[in-house]
């Protein structure tokens, strides 16, 4: 017991004194979390979206209402500097059409909108026809954009959406009424009302933190201890090998628990996440995941040729594993050969389970699988490590 | 200095009042050394005495805080210029050569850095690594790695070779082969500056040694000079049977120390004492066993000068 | 047997030896040749997966209508207007099944005058975009049901004729840019970091070898291999994702060359600034994550908040990706701008390599 405690203490201290460990265990998860939240919480939300459009009003004055002016005003009201503007509007003359196109082609603007010459009369005619019950041809407004550029493409859709609104505004003005329809929405697997990105990503960050600890605080150490024969040195003393594994593993788990608490506090109080951070189920499942990652860390430590190669290997496998765990983006529509990696990825199950236990979303995989698959990883890793350890004695 | 004018002409390195500060710590407190062509100069001292610092300043790896240096009669201002680097060879305390290169490729690479090259084959023969020319440098044994390091240091046919603890951590056999190699290099007329904390190494290889401690040279001379100056008495240790009588013991004189069955005679003149001891054994019909002659060595010199051992 | 070497031969030898070191270093070769492909495959699939698959830009919706024939027609029209792809199911429960399994992004059921939308909570943030779409769909359905006339129609005109692109084609240049930068920065930084840690640099410092030349010889081997790797990666993307780029190979090669130089330059600079290998790796990771997220690699400027735009504009990766899109025939860039990007990348990179090489040798002296 005393030996186990000593191993626990020694390994814990050695990491707490190591800048490199502190970086990966404390700083990296928090930094990543903050960067992700800063990015995705504000991406594409109202106020962030803004398309630069150029409007060319070529319409001529006609008798009766000036529809084109109404249209321009409608776009103006949706443009900067108005509140919730989604456009930055530039008016240009007909003769500058080519210059406007060039601006769009070379990314200086997102789309060009041209109100045709006969717009006013065409609308007037159209209204008249429809009042008489004759179907009138639609009045075209040309939008020029670059479909191969995302922002231009999005701008085009936004304009189409706006025109829909203008249409219904016009129909209302001319006495049509829209039938009332009831709109309901239901979210499957919902625990909380539309979770923010912070809530969505928080469980994944905890998983990454624990995984990092498992990989970088276990594997390089094991590799180093093998290289410098520290294990052999221990084996030559009367100390029970289990007390080393127990003490060492416990010190890793201890670090992971600190990570959990730290991240829970950080996400709740700094980033304002609304998660059930202190649910027992979440915590127990987290501990289980930690055990799995520590075991995987042992395996990597036994396979790796040296501490530096662990660093290289982990930086290589890290990102794919995290992406295939649906931590940053939901997983959808993947081809089968990529899906295989998702289904064997323990990080995916942990993320799913933790999302449920932390009250963010129901797990997409059944809970028994969230325990079974990582469980298989755990058992296989332990089996592999002990076989390797025994082989090295021979 | 004892050396005459002829040797002064062959002055290869001269260092005057070399000082090095690390913050407030004064690692070197004014080192003065002169190296002459063809000699092996030993720098002897415990860990942290300033050996490596001095050597690395000469190699151009560290910048002196104060002092002046001359290489081959040329004064060094600032960095050691490439012209001088062409003429020196270096074996660092611990060198790992670039990974994934074979022995001969390492040599080819280093050869390409210099204007002069002795040729890879020649050098491999000199260090006896011909058979390993296609082995990756990281797969060599400790002794072989060190021989490769020496091979690399002589590829440019340098005039001066710096060896920083060339045999540290090697087994006796490898050490012996490195010593032979260094002696061979000397026979080609190379000047060798060597640091070590093995006194047997210094005693065997060096023409002159400087003893350095706490950043200062505390003594400089040939090993023999230093030993005769500071080494004290030689010893003859022996056992004998049957146990000598008191009369017989008294005949050995007052320099005898007895501890149980073990006898030790301290002497200034080893030959004379040995002759006397043989005569004594005949006279009293005593047979001598386990006779050991212990001569003073640099370790004793060092102990005397600093009050502590070389490897403390 | 003393022979003389000329300066040129000397450099050639150095490059040749760096070549051996590089091709025999399994870790380095994997980093350069395999990691960009793996990186592209995974991120490409994940990101294009949520935003509409590899075929076209759309949202798949499971739709159930009570009055099948009539409402189906109606719904189809509405779907066309709002840019969704409906998959009609016979049973309302199938909607739930499809949504839950993640085979469609959302579900809609249309019964008499009630429209119900179904979402999957595990899609997280993405549901917010889908809910924006919801109002468009409702509007379209309402118009269809009410039978009201439309007056204005938007006629989209493409300004750039060329092959029509899929979501993945938008993303691949960005991923390629990141993967190539990553391999360059990491590769250079780890190599130089390792040489410093095992004392090789110190040993080299005692020879007349010029530090810039040494670092340049390493960079040169990373250089050709990165270019080769970029060809393989882009061809792999063509094959796996059927991206159908209209690749301008000469310009692509020029841009790759200058961008690889820049990446290698950054790798060199990082290993000069940070002393130990781990700090170099840590710092590079952070920089690359920031580059990946705070740039217009995955999403356009027009949906970024102001502070992100500012950061994105100073990230070299933004311009790398922009240039790549140009050389792949996706989006045009002014020639002067493309030239400027290349000149800055190439000279900046070269400068960092040459000065970095000098500095890294200089710093070996204490």
A215 or B186, which is more confident? B186
User: Is the minimum CB–CB distance between B115 and chain C shorter than 8 Å?
Assistant: yes
User: Is the minimum CB–CB distance between B96 and chain C shorter than 8 Å?
Assistant: yes
Residue C252 CB partners (closer than 8 Å, separation 6+): C230, C234, C324, C327, C328
| Distance (Å, whole) CA C101 – CA C212 | 57
Residue B254: other Cβ atoms inside 10 A: 6
Mean pLDDT for C23-44 is 81
Mean pLDDT for B228-241 is 83
In Å, what is the CA distance from A215 to each residue of A314, B81, B208, C1, C258? Answer: 7, 47, 55, 54, 36
User: Is the minimum CB–CB distance between C161 and chain A shorter than 8 Å?
Assistant: no
User: Is the minimum CB–CB distance between C131 and chain B shorter than 8 Å?
Assistant: no
Interchain CB distance below 8 Å, C206 and B88: yes
In Å, what is the CA distance from B266 to each residue of A178, B143, B242, B292, C220? Answer: 123, 39, 22, 12, 69
Mean pLDDT for B260-287 is 86
User: Is the minimum CB–CB distance between B110 and chain C shorter than 8 Å?
Assistant: yes
User: Is the minimum CB–CB distance between B133 and chain C shorter than 8 Å?
Assistant: no
Tokens of B127: 């260090």
The pLDDT assigned to A292 comes to 93
Q: Nearest CA of chain B to the CA of C123: how many Å?
A: 48
- The separation between the first and the last C-alpha atoms of chain B, rounded to the nearest angstrom, is 30
Interchain CB distance below 8 Å, C115 and A51: no
Mean pLDDT for A101-111 is 86
| Distance (Å, whole) CA A357 – CA A362 | 8
How does residue B24 score in pLDDT terms, banded at 50, 70 and 90?
confident
Candidates C157, C282, C333; nearest CB to A143: C157
| A223-237, B67-81, C138-152, C204-218: segment of lowest average pLDDT | C138-152
| Distance (Å, whole) CA C339 – CA C174 | 19
| Distance (Å, whole) CA C25 – CA C23 | 5
| Distance (Å, whole) CA B251 – CA B277 | 10
Range from A267-276, C312-321, C349-358 that averages highest in pLDDT: C349-358
How does residue C4 score in pLDDT terms, banded at 50, 70 and 90?
very low
| A389-393, C10-14, C61-65, C177-181: segment of lowest average pLDDT | A389-393
* Residue listed under structure tokens 């070191």: C21
Q: Is the pLDDT of residue C162 over 60?
A: no
Cis-peptide into A233, omega within 30 deg: no
CB-CB neighbors (< 8 A) of A274 in chain C: none
Interchain CB distance below 8 Å, A43 and C115: no
Using a threshold of 3 CB pairs under 8 A, tell whether chains C and B touch. Answer: yes
| Distance (Å, whole) CA A22 – CA A15 | 7
Q: Which residues of C232-251 are buried (b: 16+ CB within 10 A; e: fewer)?
A: ebbebbbebbebebebeeeb
Interchain CB distance below 8 Å, C205 and B60: yes
| Distance (Å, whole) CA A152 – CA C332 | 13
Supply the pTM of this predicted model: 0.79
CB-CB neighbors (< 8 A) of C301 in chain A: 151
Interchain CB distance below 8 Å, C105 and A332: yes
User: Is the minimum CB–CB distance between B270 and chain C shorter than 8 Å?
Assistant: no
The pLDDT assigned to C3 comes to 41
In Å, what is the CA distance from B304 to each residue of A215, B28, B207, B218, B229? Answer: 54, 22, 21, 11, 10
Q: What is the SS3 string spanning chain A? A: CHHHHHHHHHHHHHHHCCHHHHHHHHHHHHHHHHHHHHHHCCCCCCCCCCEEEEEEECCCCCCCCCHHHHHHHHHHHCECCCCCCCEEEEEECHHHHHHHHHHHHCCCCCEEEEECCCHHHHHHHHHHHHHCCCCCCCEEEEEEECCCCHHHHHHHHHHHHHHHHHHHHHHHHCCCCCCCCEEEEEEECECCCCCCHHHHHHHHHHHHHHHHHHHHCCHHHHHHHHHCCHHHHHHCCCCCHHHHHHHHHHHHHHHHHHHHHHHHHHHHHHCCCCCCCCCHHHHHHHHHHHHHHHHHHHHHHHHCCCHHHHHHHHHHHHHHHHHCCCCCCCCCCCCHHHHHHHHHCHHHHHHHHHHHHCCCECCCCCHHHHHHHHHHHHHHHHHHHHHHHHHHHC
How many residues are listed for chain C in this entry? 366
Residue pair C118/C74 in contact (Cβ under 8 Å)? The answer is no
Tokens of A263: 């991240």
φ, ψ for residue B259 (rounded to 5)? -135, 100
Candidates C47, C127, C136; nearest CB to A164: C136
At B292 the three-state DSSP class reads strand
| Distance (Å, whole) CA A305 – CA A252 | 22
The pLDDT assigned to C2 comes to 40
Give C 35-64 residues with CB within 8 A of chain A.
Answer: 35, 38-39, 41-43, 45-50, 52-54, 57, 60
The pLDDT assigned to B1 comes to 37
Interchain CB distance below 8 Å, C200 and B96: yes
Give C 259-288 residues with CB within 8 A of chain A.
Answer: 277-279, 281-282, 285-286
| A288-297, A380-389, C119-128, C184-193: segment of lowest average pLDDT | C119-128
User: Considering only alpha carbons, which residue of chain C is nearest residue A135?
Assistant: C149
How does residue C260 score in pLDDT terms, banded at 50, 70 and 90?
very high
B169: left (phi over 0), alpha (psi -120 to 50) or beta: left
A118 or A328, which is more confident? A118
φ, ψ for residue C166 (rounded to 5)? -105, 170
CB-CB neighbors (< 8 A) of C44 in chain A: none
| Distance (Å, whole) CA C287 – CA C315 | 10
Opening angle at CA B236, ends B232 and B241, nearest 5: 155
How many residues are listed for chain A in this entry? 394
Interchain CB distance below 8 Å, A123 and C289: no
In Å, what is the CA distance from A68 to each residue of A55, A89, A115, B150? Answer: 11, 15, 7, 89
| Distance (Å, whole) CA C148 – CA A175 | 10
Q: Is the pLDDT of residue C78 over 90?
A: no
CB-CB neighbors (< 8 A) of C21 in chain B: 98-101
Interchain CB distance below 8 Å, C158 and A110: no
The pLDDT assigned to C167 comes to 67
Q: How many helices (H) and strands (E) does chain C have?
A: 14, 6
Residue A17: other Cβ atoms inside 10 A: 9
Pick from C30, C121, C148 the residue to mutate for testing the A interface (most A CBs within 10 Å): C121
A302 or A312, which is more confident? A302
């Amino acid at each position: 017991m005393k030996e186990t405690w000593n191993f626990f203490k020694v390994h814990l201290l050695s990491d707490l004194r190591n800048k490199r460990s502190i970086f990966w265990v404390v700083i990296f998860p928090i930094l990543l979390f903050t960067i992700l939240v800063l990015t995705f919480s504000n991406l594409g939300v109202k106020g962030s979206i803004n398309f630069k459009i150029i409007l060319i009003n070529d319409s001529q004055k006609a008798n009766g209402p000036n529809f084109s002016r109404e249209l321009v005003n409608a776009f103006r009201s949706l443009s900067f500097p108005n509140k919730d503007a989604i456009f930055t509007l530039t008016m240009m003359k007909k003769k500058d059409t080519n210059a406007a196109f060039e601006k769009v082609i070379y990314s200086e603007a997102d789309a060009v909108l041209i109100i045709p010459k006969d717009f006013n009369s065409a609308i007037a005619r159209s209204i008249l026809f429809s009042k008489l019950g004759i179907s009138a041809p639609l009045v075209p407004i040309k939008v020029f954009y670059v479909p191969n550029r995302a922002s231009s493409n999005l701008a085009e859709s936004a304009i189409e959406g706006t025109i829909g609104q203008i249409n219904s505004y016009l129909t209302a003005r001319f006495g049509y009424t829209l039938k009332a329809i009831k709109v309901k929405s239901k979210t499957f697997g919902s625990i909380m009302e539309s979770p923010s990105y912070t809530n969505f990503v928080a469980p994944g960050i905890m998983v990454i933190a624990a995984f990092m600890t498992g990989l970088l605080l276990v594997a390089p150490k094991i590799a180093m201890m093998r290289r410098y024969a520290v294990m052999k040195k221990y084996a030559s003393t009367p100390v029970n090998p289990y007390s080393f594994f127990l003490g060492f593993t416990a010190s890793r788990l201890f670090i992971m628990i600190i990570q959990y608490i730290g991240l829970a506090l950080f996400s709740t109080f700094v980033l304002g996440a609304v998660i059930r951070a202190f649910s027992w189920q979440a915590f127990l499942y987290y501990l289980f995941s930690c055990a799995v990652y520590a075991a995987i860390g042992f395996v990597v430590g036994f396979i790796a040729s040296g501490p530096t190669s662990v660093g290289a290997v982990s930086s290589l496998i890290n990102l794919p594993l995290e992406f295939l765990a649906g931590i940053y983006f939901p997983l959808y529509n993947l081809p089968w050969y990529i899906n295989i990696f998702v289904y064997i990825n323990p990080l995916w199950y942990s993320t799913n389970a933790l999302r449920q236990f932390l009250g963010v979303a129901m797990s997409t995989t059944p809970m028994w699988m969230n325990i079974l698959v990582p469980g298989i990883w755990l058992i296989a890793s332990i089996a592999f490590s002990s076989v390797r350890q025994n082989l090295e004695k021979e | 200095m004892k050396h005459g004018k002829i040797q002064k002409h062959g002055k290869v390195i001269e260092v005057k009042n070399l000082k090095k500060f690390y913050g407030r710590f004064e690692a070197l407190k004014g080192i003065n050394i002169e190296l002459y062509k063809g000699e092996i100069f030993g720098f002897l001292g415990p860990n942290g005495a300033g050996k490596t610092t001095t050597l690395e300043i000469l190699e151009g790896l560290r910048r002196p805080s104060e002092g002046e240096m001359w290489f081959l009669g040329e004064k060094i201002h600032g960095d050691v210029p490439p012209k001088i680097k062409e003429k020196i060879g270096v074996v660092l305390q611990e060198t790992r050569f670039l990974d994934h290169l074979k022995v001969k490729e390492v040599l080819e690479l280093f050869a390409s850095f210099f204007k002069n090259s002795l040729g890879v084959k020649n050098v491999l023969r000199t260090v006896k690594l011909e058979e390993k020319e296609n082995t990756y440098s990281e797969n060599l044994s400790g002794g072989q790695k060190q021989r490769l390091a020496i091979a690399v240091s002589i590829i440019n046919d340098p005039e001066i070779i710096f060896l920083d603890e060339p045999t540290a951590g090697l087994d006796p056999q490898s050490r012996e082969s490195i010593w032979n190699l260094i002696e061979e290099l000397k026979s080609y007329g190379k000047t060798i500056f060597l640091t070590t904390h093995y006194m047997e190494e210094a005693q065997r290889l060096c023409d002159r040694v400087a003893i350095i401690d706490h950043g200062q040279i505390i003594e400089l001379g040939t090993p023999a000079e230093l030993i005769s100056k500071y080494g004290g008495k030689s010893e003859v240790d022996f056992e004998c049977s049957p146990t000598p009588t008191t009369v017989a013991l008294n005949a050995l004189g007052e320099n005898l120390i007895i501890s149980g069955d073990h006898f030790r005679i301290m002497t200034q003149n080893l030959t004379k004492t040995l002759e006397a001891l043989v005569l004594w054994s005949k006279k009293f019909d005593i047979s001598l066993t386990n006779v050991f002659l212990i001569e003073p060595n640099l370790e004793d010199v060092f102990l005397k000068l600093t009050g502590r051992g070389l490897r403390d | 047997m003393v022979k003389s070497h000329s300066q040129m031969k000397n450099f050639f030898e150095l490059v040749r030896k760096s070549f051996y070191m590089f091709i025999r270093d399994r870790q380095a070769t994997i980093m350069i040749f395999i990691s960009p492909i793996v990186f592209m495959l995974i991120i490409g699939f994940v990101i294009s997966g949520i935003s509409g698959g590899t075929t076209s830009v759309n949202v798949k919706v499971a739709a159930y209508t009570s009055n099948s024939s009539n409402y189906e027609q109606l719904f189809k029209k509405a779907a066309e207007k709002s840019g969704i792809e409906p998959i009609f199911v016979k049973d309302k429960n199938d909607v739930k099944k499809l949504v839950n399994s993640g085979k469609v992004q959302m579900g809609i059921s249309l019964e008499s005058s009630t429209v119900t939308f179904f979402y999957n909570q595990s899609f997280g943030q993405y549901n917010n975009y889908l809910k924006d779409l919801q109002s468009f769909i409702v509007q379209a359905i309402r118009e269809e049901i009410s039978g009201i006339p439309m007056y204005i129609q938007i006629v989209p005109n493409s300004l750039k004729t060329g092959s029509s692109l899929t979501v993945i084609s938008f993303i691949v240049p960005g991923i390629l840019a990141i993967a190539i930068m990553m391999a360059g920065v990491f590769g250079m930084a780890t190599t130089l970091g390792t040489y410093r840690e095992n004392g090789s640099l110190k040993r080299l410092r005692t020879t007349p070898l010029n530090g810039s030349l040494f670092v340049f010889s390493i960079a040169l081997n990373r250089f050709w291999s990165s270019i080769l790797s970029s060809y393989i990666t882009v061809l792999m993307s063509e094959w796996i994702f059927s991206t159908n780029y209209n690749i301008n190979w000469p310009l692509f090669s020029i841009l790759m060359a200058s961008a690889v130089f820049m990446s290698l330059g950054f790798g060199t600079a990082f290993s000069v600034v940070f002393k130990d290998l781990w700090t170099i790796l840590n710092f590079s990771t952070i920089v690359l994550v920031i580059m990946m997220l705070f740039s217009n690699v995955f999403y356009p400027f027009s949906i970024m908040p102001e502070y992100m735009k500012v950061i994105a504009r100073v990230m070299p990766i933004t311009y790398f990706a922009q240039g790549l899109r140009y050389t792949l025939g996706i989006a045009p860039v002014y020639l002067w701008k493309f030239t400027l990007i290349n000149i800055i990348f190439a000279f900046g990179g070269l400068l960092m390599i040459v000065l970095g090489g000098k500095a890294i040798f200089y710093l070996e002296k204490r």
